[in-house]
A = this chain, B = another copy of it.
Amino acid sequence: MKPIHRFNCACWSALALTGIITTAGAQDPLPSWNEGAAKRAIIHFVQTTTDSGSTNFVPPEERIATFDQDGTLWVEKPMYAQVMYCLDRVPAVVAAKPELKNVEPFKTVLSGNREAIARLSMKDLEKILMATLTGMTTDQFRSEVKKWLATAKDPRWHRPYPELTYQPMQEVLKYLRANGYKTYIVTGGGQDFVRVYAEQTYGIPPEQVVGTMGGVSYGYDQDGKPVLTKDPKLLLNDNNAGKPEGIHLMIGRQPYAAFGNSTGDREMLEYTKAGDGVRLAMLLLHDDVGREYAYGPAQGLPDSKVGTFTQELYDEAKHKGWTVISMKDDWKRIFSFD
C-alpha cells in the first residue's frame, strides 16, 4: 500500500501547487473547478477589476454580478422547481374552490397522469400558475412555499431542491462577494418564490432577487392588520429582454458580470457586455448526462423545452467572447454532497 500512498501525496502536492500558481499565492477560491479557460476567466475578471492599480478597476459601489437561477445555480430538469410547486398546490386550490374539480386544466393535474400533465399547453400552465401564485397574501404565500420546500424532493436525487445547487457556482458567488461584488439573482422564476429560499440557499437577500414580478395590493385583514395581496397582474416577465429591463428597475446599474445557461439569458449577457471596461459573461452548458443532464440543442445535445441552449446562442457566445462553461469538463464536482 505504501507506494500508492506516497504517489497520492505527490499528486495532492502538485494540485496544491497548481492552485497556488493560479490564484497568486492565495488559497484556491474555486476548488470545485477544473483548471481551464472558464476558471481562468473568472479569476482574471475578479483580479483585474479589484486591483486599484489596474485600468480595469471597478469602484466597489459599481460591483454588480447577476445570476440566472434555474439551470445556472441549481438543477432545472426535469421541470423548474416552481412549476412543481404549482402542480403540487393544485389539490389545495381545488379543496378551497371545489367547482374547479372538473374544470381543465385542474382536472388533468388532479388525475396524476404525468404524460397528460406534460402535454398541458402554455395557456393551461398559466391558469395553474395564476391559481397557485396569486390571490393570497404575501405572508400566506411565503409560509406555503416554506412548507413545500421542507418536504418536496427532486425526483432523481430524492433531495430537497435547495440541496441541488451547484457547488462550483456557490464558490463563484462567495468569491465575488469576498471581492466586494453584490450578487443578484435575475430569474425568470417568480420573484416572491425565489426570495423564500435565496438567503438561506445562496446567501442572497430578498432585495437582491430580481424575478418575474406580479403586482401586489395593499389592504387589511379581518383584524385590520395591513397585508399585501398577490394580484393576477404581471408587471414584468423577467426573461429575455425582460432581464435587462428588470435589472434596470431593481438595480439601476449595468452589471459587470452575468451568468446564465439558456436563450432566456441572452439579453442579460449582451447588456452586461455592452458596458465599458472589462465585463464577464458566462453561459453554463449542460453536457454532463452522467453527473447531471445533457441538453441543448447546441453542440448536438438533445433538444429541451426547459433551459433551451441553441446552437445560435453557442455561436454568438463564441463570437462575442462570452465564456461557455462545460459542466463535464470545467466542473470537478457538481453538488456539495458529491
- A: residues with CB less than 8 A from B are 61, 64, 138, 182, 191-192, 195, 199, 205-207, 209, 213, 215-219, 225-226, 228, 235-236, 241-242, 244-245, 248-253, 267, 270-271, 274
Contacts and interface: CB of A to CB of B under 8 A. Distances in A.
A195 B251 CA distance: 10
B226 A249 contact: no
B252 A207 contact: yes
A245 B225 CA distance: 15
Nearest to A139: B254
A271 B218 contact: yes
A309 to B, nearest CB: 20
B252 A206 contact: yes
A54 to B, nearest CB: 23
Task: Please indicate which of the listed interface residues A213, A228, A253 has the most CB atoms of chain B within 10 Å of its own CB.
Answer: A228
20 contacts: A61-B199, A61-B205, A64-B207, A192-B252, A195-B252, A206-B253, A207-B250, A207-B251, A207-B252, A207-B253, A216-B248, A216-B249, A217-B241, A217-B245, A218-B244, A226-B271, A226-B274, A228-B245, A228-B248, A235-B249
A216 B245 contact: yes
Contacts of A218: 241-242, 244-245, 267, 271
Contact of A248 (B61, B138, B245, B267): B138
Contacts of A244: 218, 226, 228
Contacts of A252: 191-192, 195, 206-207, 209
* A-B pairs, 10 with minimum CB distance: A206-B252, A218-B241, A226-B274, A207-B251, A218-B244, A226-B271, A195-B252, A216-B245, A228-B248, A216-B248
A249 B207 contact: no
A226 to B, nearest CB: 5
A190 to B, nearest CB: 12
Nearest to A253: B206
Nearest to A194: B252
A244 B227 CA distance: 9
B248 A250 contact: no
A253 B198 CA distance: 13
A135 B86 CA distance: 38
A48 to B, nearest CB: 23
Contacts of A199: 61
A270 B226 contact: yes
Contact of A213 (B205, B219, B225, B249): B249
Contacts of A64: 207
Nearest to A215: B245
Given A192-B252, A217-B241, 15 more contacts: A61-B199, A182-B207, A195-B252, A206-B252, A207-B253, A215-B245, A217-B245, A218-B241, A218-B242, A218-B244, A218-B245, A226-B244, A228-B245, A228-B248, A235-B235
Task: Please indicate which of the listed interface residues A215, A250, A274 has the most CB atoms of chain B within 10 Å of its own CB.
Answer: A250
Nearest to A214: B249
A248 to B, nearest CB: 5
